[in-house]
Amino acid sequence: MTTDAPIISLKDVNVFQQKNLVLSQVNLQISPGEFVYLIGRTGSGKSSFLKLLYGELPLIQGTGQVAGFQLNSLKEKEIPYLRRKLGIVFQDFQLLPDRSSRENLVFVLRATGWTDKNQIMERVNEVLGKVGLDSKGYKMPHELSGGEQQRLAIARALLNDPEVILADEPSGNLDPETSNGIMRLFFDISKNGCAVVMATHNYTLIERFPARVILFDQGKVAEQ
């Protein structure tokens, strides 16, 4: 654990989907560079919890901050700036099918305000190298294996040098060997000071790559 101020801090938070109370009295702190698993059965509120952290769901009751942004007073126009501090990785990759791997990354940088062509290409090549895809930049997403597509999704999440990565079942569609490679990549990212918060059903992964575990059960959140 680092001594820095928490990168995520929630106090007495109730999480709602529309008017339904999904989670109650969440108290949680996550430090920079920490690796945290979120576990619990389907429908236990893990995805809602992640949506709260990246501003998809409003914080109505309780207080919370993520990467310096106060969630309870978060304005619509601040959400893109919050998301620049976060890297978000989904199970289904969400890549643009009509653009090459490199163009997928260029698109994100342009969308988040980068304008200098040389800086864009430099950053794209840097993150492709970090995830082991330096020689695959010209390939279209459908020409990549499932593991490579997930690595590209992680590269995309790393583009703006996030302080937190939120990953929702990132190894859900991958075979065990590929999953292990992806997990090693996430642990390397956390060792470099970026917190990683990962929702998973895969208990084998947790045994193989131990870290802090938060259990979601019957509307409550507790340390395992």
Q: What pLDDT was estimated at residue 3? A: 52
Q: Which of 143, 161, 179 is the last residue of a domain?
A: 161
Parent domain of 37: 1-85+163-224
Contact indicator for 7, 30 with CB cutoff of 8 Å: yes
The predicted-structure confidence for 18-29, as pLDDT tens digits, reads as follows 889 999 999 999
Q: Are residues 151 and 180 in the same domain?
A: no
Structural domain count, the chain:
2
Q: Are residues 1 and 81 in the same domain?
A: yes
Q: What pLDDT was estimated at residue 112? A: 83
Q: Where are the beta strands (DSSP E) in the chain?
A: 8-17, 20-30, 35-39, 61-66, 69-70, 86-89, 164-168, 195-199, 212-217, 220-223
The predicted-structure confidence for 52-86, as pLDDT tens digits, reads as follows 999 999 999 999 999 999 999 999 999 988 988 99
Within a domain: 90? no
What mean pLDDT, rounded, does the chain reach? 92
Q: What pLDDT was estimated at residue 2? A: 44
Within a domain: 171? yes
% of the chain at pLDDT higher than 90: 82
Q: Are residues 150 and 167 in the same domain?
A: no
Read off the pLDDT of each residue in 137-164 and give the average, rounded to a whole number: 94
216 pLDDT above the threshold of 70: yes
Q: Are residues 80 and 105 in the same domain?
A: no
The predicted-structure confidence for 103-147, as pLDDT tens digits, reads as follows 999 999 998 889 999 999 999 999 999 999 999 999 999 999 999
1 pLDDT above the threshold of 50: no
Look at strands 61-66 and 8-17 and give their pairing: antiparallel
Q: Retrieve residue 33's tokens.
A: 């560079």
Q: Nearest CA to 168 among 152, 150, 181, 190? A: 150
Within a domain: 193? yes
Q: Are residues 168 and 60 in the same domain?
A: yes
d(CA 168, CA 137): 25
Q: Which of 111, 138, 161 is the last residue of a domain?
A: 161
Q: Which residues contact 78 (CB under 8 A, 6 or more apart)?
A: 55, 69
Q: Are residues 71 and 172 in the same domain?
A: yes
Ramachandran angles phi, psi of 168, nearest 5°: -105, 105
Q: How far is CA 95 from CA 4, 115, 220, in A?
A: 34, 21, 33
173 pLDDT above the threshold of 50: yes
Q: Are residues 112 and 23 in the same domain?
A: no
Q: Are residues 6 and 81 in the same domain?
A: yes
Q: Are residues 70 and 119 in the same domain?
A: no
CATH number, domain with residue 27? 3.40.50.300
Ordered strands of the 35-39 beta sheet: 86-89, 164-168, 195-199, 35-39, 212-217, 220-223
93 pLDDT above the threshold of 90: no
d(CA 108, CA 104): 7
Q: Are residues 199 and 210 in the same domain?
A: yes
Q: Which of 116, 136, 161 is the last residue of a domain?
A: 161
Q: Are residues 1 and 75 in the same domain?
A: yes
Distance spanning both ends of the chain, measured CA to CA: 17
- Render the burial of 67-103: b for 16+ CB within 10 Å, e for the rest: bebebeebeeeeeebbbbbbbbbbbebebeeeebbbe
Q: Are residues 6 and 66 in the same domain?
A: yes
